[in-house]
Every structure is written in structure tokens, then in C-alpha cells.
Structure 1
């Protein structure tokens, strides 16, 4: 890793009306590093990811990519920044009306203006990298299983060979075996690209496999950061309760009646 973090988040705050979701988040992600953010539902994981991507603007604080503040970017500067990113969405988020290869090559065709024939070749190669055969390219998403859709989403995320890839709950809705397949593919794709990755998940099996470091968010703040191997014995009662799935502990679930 270089001295300058690839992603640097400092003092990020975000509220929606009276509800404070992020309350001064600090986090660094080094070049080529995989950081996974864990935490329960409603703790601010997705909002933090969207602020880092630039889909939401923080109320306060700073998000820097390669040392460059993202909040004030516009026009071509913003386009250049976004070109560094790839994204695997929680539900794969494929376009139902497009074929598989058109989904994978969407950015290449519509963003980079790559000729469709060339883009299709790239898409087929990326599908191969995630374990899908060329005949899948001309299917539509409705013809695919959930695991295959997730693989297509991963192929789309890496199609433009981004420097940074964001993973939003990459194993949600998958059975344990397919979830492990996706985790292995994420590790392989990251190593092949040398990409920096920032992921959010509540799946501890996924976090352990794909992370170099794990950060836990609770009540809008990062309360623990450490090596993935250290998460099992963190010494932090909040982390220990979450990682081991215990009902008893400092984290109290809010039940609505």
C-alpha cells in the first residue's frame, strides 16, 4: 500500500430529517486493500457506501479518492472519478430488457462508446472470468438463477477494469454454497485486477473470506477496525456480540410492535 489511502473518509456525517445516520465516520482504505464494513440493519452501512460513491453528499466531513475531494467534483472531473469505480449491487440490479452481455457491457457501450462488437467480446471474457459460458451472453436475466445473476453483476462490475470496486451485500439471497462461490470469485477478480475494494455485509462468512481488514459501524460511527483474523477475538463487546450472533449483549434490537 502507498502512504496515501486510496479512499480516505474523515468526519462524515449524514442525517435524514431528525434521524442521524452517520455521525462522524473515519475510515481509510489502502491501495489494493479489501475493507469490509459490518453492522446490523439500519446502522448506516449503505448510506456510507453511497456517500463514498458520491450518490449522496455528506452533511459534513470529507471523502477523498486518491487524495482528491469528491463532493465538489462536477462535469468531466466527476466523470473521470466515476470511471475508477465498479459496483456490485445487492440484488445484482440487472436491466430486465437487456441481454446478459448488454448488461455486462452497458458502461462500455454507453459510457465509453465502445463499438458493440468489441464490447460483446469483452463481456463474454468477463463472463468467463466469473465462471459463465459464452452461451449465457444472449440470455435475459429472467432466464438466470439468483447465483447466475449475481455472477453477471460481478462481471459487469469488473468489465471496465476499475481501480475501486464496491460490493453491496454481495451474498444476500444466496444459499451457503453459492455464497461461497461468489466470495471466491470476488477474491479472484480483485487479485486479477489489483483493485481496491470496499464492501458492506452482515454475512460474517463473506467478511472473513474477502476482507484484509474489517470495520464495524454502530450508531453511525466506526467503533472497531482490525485485521480480518482478529475479528473473532476483538475484545470489543459490540463486535463480539455481532460476530457470534448473540441475542444478549450491548447491542439492543429495536422491536416494533
Structure 2
């Protein structure tokens, strides 16, 4: 169901010592929509994601998940909220010592207490869904290409049928063709699950493929948000410079400047 709010961040701040990273982030992600966060390196994208996941606790502000405050939850409350999430990490982040199917089934076995036989069946189903086969499930991650590892990471992210999926730079390190394959699989997987998606990426081809809505973060604040169809006509000079990769504009790279 769309039109309802799945994630709502309000006035979220986070500093590390004297370094102010998030400086009042406001963001609304609707149920069943795919929101992609864009912005340069060091603008706070990953820190914001980690705050939503509860890996980092913000200094102040509110993060509502299905209307429930998630900031300051105890471990039991956090575990309950985390059951809603699936995540595809930037480097796939597979466990080297486990077989591929065990990686995919990790959340089912260790998070849900599912027996290994049932978890194996679901793992194979998800591997097939991302274009791999049952035999791949018996390999170890070191035997896979980068693109195959990303597919396994995606299979793991969707294995628990999460309500919310996070994608952290999902196409980093992939050639353009494999990146497009992964983007298509992300769109397919999110749609089939009816999930809400929140992604961060530098890859504009990925943004245009997987996003329903786009938000740009700059200097720790969301400075523009809108449907992906409005991206090229945002009227925002920061967005315009970023999406076209121009050196000249309001965003200063810091190259040639004193640190």
C-alpha cells in the first residue's frame, strides 16, 4: 500500500567529536516506494543509513519506523524492528567460511531459528530468483565473480521477505553491463516483495533505474527531494551539478584547497 509513511526522519543530528556529519536530516519514505539518496562522499549518506539501522545512535532527532520511535530502543525492541529489514552491503559482505546457500540463509537460521532443511530450500529459491542455480549454493564466496557475489548478497537481502530493504552502493565495482543486471534484479525483487527500499549510490544510471523518489544530501542536510522524473528539472543548482558531474558549481570538491 502506498501513500503511508514507512520511514520518517526528523531533525536528525550526528557528530563525531568536532566533525558534524548530520545537521538536521528530514526525510520521508513512503510504503512500497524506492527512495534513493544521492550526494558526494562525506555528505552523511552512510551515517544516515547506519542511524536508521540502529548501528549508530543519533545525537538528537527522531527516526520513526511504521510510526514507532526507533531511537533509544532497548535490545529487544531493536531486534523486533530489525526483523523488518534486509540489506545489500557495498562489498556483498559474505562470510568466507560459509557456503553460498548458508550465507543466503543466515538470517533465516540465526535470526528466525528456522531448521536448516527449510532454510536451504528458501536459499535455493532466492538464488534462482537472482539468476543463479542450486549448484552455486554449494560453492564458497571466493569461487564467485564480483557480479555473482552481488547476486548472492541480494538473495540474502530478500531471503527473509523483509518489509524494508537497504542498498548500499549496490553497483560499486561492477562493469556497466553487470551493474545494469543488478539494477534490474533490484527493481524486480523489490516489486515482487512489495517492499520499501532505501538506497545510497553515486551511480546515476542506478538512480534512474531503481528510484521512484530521489533525495540529495549535502553538508548533512536533505536539500532536495522529489520523484525521479523531476531529477533533470529539479531547479536546484546542487542537484544539477551533481547529476551531471560538473566540476564547476556550488559544490566545491576541495581539490587544490587547504585541508
Question: What residue in structure 2 maps to residue 202 of structure 1?
Answer: 202
Helix, strand or coil: the match of 1:6? strand
Question: What residue in structure 2 maps to residue 193 of structure 1?
Answer: 193
Question: What residue in structure 1 maps to residue 110 of structure 2?
Answer: 110
Q: Distance in 2 between matches of 1:199 and 1:167?
A: 4
User: Aligned-pair distance for 1:76?
Assistant: 2.7
Q: Distance in 2 between matches of 1:227 and 1:207?
A: 11
Helix, strand or coil: the match of 2:40? coil
Question: What residue in structure 1 maps to residue 163 of structure 2?
Answer: 163
Q: Deviations over 1:58-89 (max 9, x none)?
A: 10100010000011222332211100000000
Relative to the length of structure 1, the TM-score reads 0.98
Relative to the length of structure 2, the TM-score reads 0.97
Q: Deviations over 1:19-40 (max 9, x none)?
A: 1000000000011010000001
Question: What residue in structure 2 maps to residue 47 of structure 1?
Answer: 47
User: Aligned-pair distance for 1:51?
Assistant: 0.5
Question: What residue in structure 2 maps to residue 122 of structure 1?
Answer: 122
Please identify runs of 4+ aligned residues in structure 1 that moved more than 3 A.
1-4
User: Aligned-pair distance for 1:2?
Assistant: 5.1
Question: What residue in structure 2 maps to residue 211 of structure 1?
Answer: 211
Confirm or deny: 8 A CA contact 2:165 2:196 kept in the other structure: yes
User: Aligned-pair distance for 1:255?
Assistant: 2.7
Structure 2 unaligned blocks of 5 or more: none
Question: What residue in structure 1 maps to residue 179 of structure 2?
Answer: 179
Confirm or deny: 8 A CA contact 2:3 2:31 kept in the other structure: no
Q: Distance in 1 between matches of 2:31 and 2:246?
A: 34
Structure 1 unaligned blocks of 5 or more: none
The total of aligned residue pairs comes to: 257
Q: How does 1:5-154 map to 2 (within 5 A)?
A: 5-154=5-154
User: Aligned-pair distance for 1:234?
Assistant: 1.2
